[in-house]
Amino acid sequence: MKVLVATEKPFAAVAVEGIRKEIEGAGYTLDLLEKYTDKAQLLAAVADADALIVRSDKVDAEVLDAARQLKIVVRAGAGYDNIDLAAATAHNVCVENTPGQNSNAVAELVFGMTVMAVRNMYNGTSGTELKGKRLGIHAFGQVGRNVARIAKGFGMELSALDPYCPDAAIEEAGVRPVHSVEDLYRDNEFVSLHIPATAETRGSVGYDLITLMPKGGVLINTARKEVIDEDGLTRALEARPDIKYVADVRPDCADALMERFPGRVFFTPKKMGAQTAEANINAGIAAARQIVAFLRDGIDRFRVNKA
């Protein structure tokens, strides 16, 4: 059995070694395709793979067609919007993610970028502090919970919106549940986005919500660029010179925003929320173990597509 790790954005070397240990320890072969620049490289590499580990790498119908022996693909991470689930089901391929394994890394970056925003991108001028300020957590999954944990250390007041999470679970984490998206944006100087990119959420955060934010509002996006209505964001930044937008996911209109709103926007050059040795080790090794459990014992606990 051959397991292919295909990562356009590679794991830390120490994580690859951990993955290798799991895969070879189970008697399988590990193949590595890192930093590929062309889809053709991926199509060639998957041809004889029985299992595939990816990050944000696109696994579409063409990749699945090329991967004739593929039985399972594990997205080492949380969001699986890069994988065509219906096509995987049609190809009889199990799709899994590794929930929670990289969430602390993403949550830490939320504060890296938030502090940078309130300290005026470290330009030497006087900024503000996070202590005593209100933070709204838009979706209370694994990253949202880690954001809440860290925000408490900063002394922030917390609320969260998540229709899929019971109020009791939010309250148990010391966070106030809110039930309307308008309330979340109206009541918080800081809003941190943790919604997945789905048909329901794409383009769902735009002018109307962003301009509800109180004076000095900062919107932090470590989720997906697709959840933002970029035209609405641009108009909101135009209408509200006090608002800032920092994102780990470069919008399509990044260059225009940086030119028009200098000092008020920041974008990482490449998605790097989960780019830590720890997150790579956690997610990569979890992916490898899930593959072994699936191939050896038929366990599909983290399956996200229909069988």
Residue from 6, 18, 49, 56 in contact with ligand 3PG (CB under 6 A) = 56
Nearer to ligand 3PG, 133 or 224 (CB): 224
Cα–Cα distance measured from residue 268 to residue 271, given in angstroms and rounded to the nearest whole number = 6
Which residues face 31 on adjacent strands? 4
Query: What number of other Cβ atoms are within 10 A of residue 153's Cβ?
Result: 10
Site for ligand 3PG in 63-102 (CB under 6 A): 77-79, 102
* Closest-CA residue to 151 (of 180, 126, 121, 131): 131
Based on the shown chain and the rule CB under 6 A, indicate whether residue 228 belongs to the binding site for ligand 3PG: no
Nearest 5°: CA angle at 281, between 275 and 284? Answer: 90
Considering beta carbons, is residue 11 or 207 the nearer one to ligand 3PG?
Answer: 11
Question: What is the Cα Rg of the chain in Å?
Answer: 20
Does 225 bind ligand 3PG (CB under 6 A)? Our answer is no
Q: Does 274 bind ligand 3PG (CB under 6 A)?
A: yes
**Nearest to ligand 3PG of 212, 287 (CB atom):** 287
Sheet holding 176-178, edge to edge: 176-178, 157-161, 134-138, 190-193, 218-221, 244-247, 265-267
Check binding of 284 to ligand 3PG (CB under 6 A): no
Closest approach of ligand 3PG to the CB of residue 77, in Å = 2
- Residue 40's SS3 state is helix
Q: How many residues bind ligand 3PG (CB under 6 A)?
A: 11
Map residue 65 onto helix, strand or coil.
helix
Site for ligand 3PG in 99-138 (CB under 6 A): 102
CA distance 102 to 107: 9
CB 51 within 8 A of CB 289: no
Q: Which residue in 51, 55, 59, 251 binds ligand 3PG (CB under 6 A)?
A: 55
Q: Identify the H or E element spanning 102.
A: none
User: Which position's Cβ is nearest ligand 3PG?
Assistant: 77
Residue at 22: amino acid letter: E
- Closer residue to ligand 3PG in complex, CB, 49/197: 197
- Asked if 145 interacts with ligand 3PG (CB under 6 A), we say no
Residue 291 CB, shortest distance to ligand 3PG, in Å, is 16
- DSSP H helices in 166-270: 167-172, 181-187, 207-210, 230-239, 254-260
Query: Cβ closer to ligand 3PG: 1 or 32?
Result: 32
Q: Under rule CB under 6 A, which residues in 242-271 are in contact with ligand 3PG? A: 271
Regarding 194 and contact with ligand 3PG (CB under 6 A), the answer is no
Please give the residues from 1 up to 20 whose contact with ligand 3PG meets the rule CB under 6 A. Answer: 9
Separation CA 145–CA 147 (nearest Å): 5
Q: Are β-strands 190-193 and 176-178 bridged in parallel, bridged antiparallel, or unpaired?
A: unpaired
CB of 55 vs ligand 3PG, minimal distance in Å: 3
Q: Give the residue with the Cβ less far from ligand 3PG, 221 or 234.
A: 221
Q: What are phi and psi of 107, to 5 degrees?
A: -65, -40
**Which residues sit at the interface with ligand 3PG, rule CB under 6 A?**
9, 55-56, 77-79, 102, 271, 273-275
